[in-house]
Structure 1
């Protein structure tokens, strides 16, 4: 998926791009199902909420589930990112963050994996 010069200028101005229909409803449904699978995989990849049995983060989901592996390599993500950076990209690290709303910890100000 190539992005336009206007998209590139918007990114330079605002620091982000938003494509609300980047993935179809069926693709999103498949991703939600994949989350339900990987959240049940025990191991060091799971970080629980403080004082809770709920999952706070899943690290490296692309290593544990084919759906996330495919997502990380999807041309609709890779091509615009490489176009914006004018370079090839790769997965250094990934994580899924969960926010359950009231009663759980938030994600305080932080720098993403930039």
Structure 2
């Protein structure tokens, strides 16, 4: 059995030291992988006052490939897992290239999950 930890996207903030400390602590505690969620866009409560979802346009989400490039450089064994990349909001060939690059530069530690997501607001024009 492998055990992982969820990266606290909206809770951790933008401090690089805090992000690094979380990943290092996960690795030191013996977790096998770190999972990071992906949301490119969020609901704007000003135009969607009825929105009751957990994430808004104000929610901080670290971009998973950039995050994993950073974490891959400061960890040694921790596998890096996307849960999931919302492919409909990204250019497919670029996602493939980014994923391959992160996987190569981290010594094969990327596990790529892709899907369509669940939040209809993210697809509205």
TM over 0.5, shorter chain: no
Higher Rg? 1
> TM-score normalised to the size of structure 1?
0.30
> TM-score normalised to the size of structure 2?
0.28
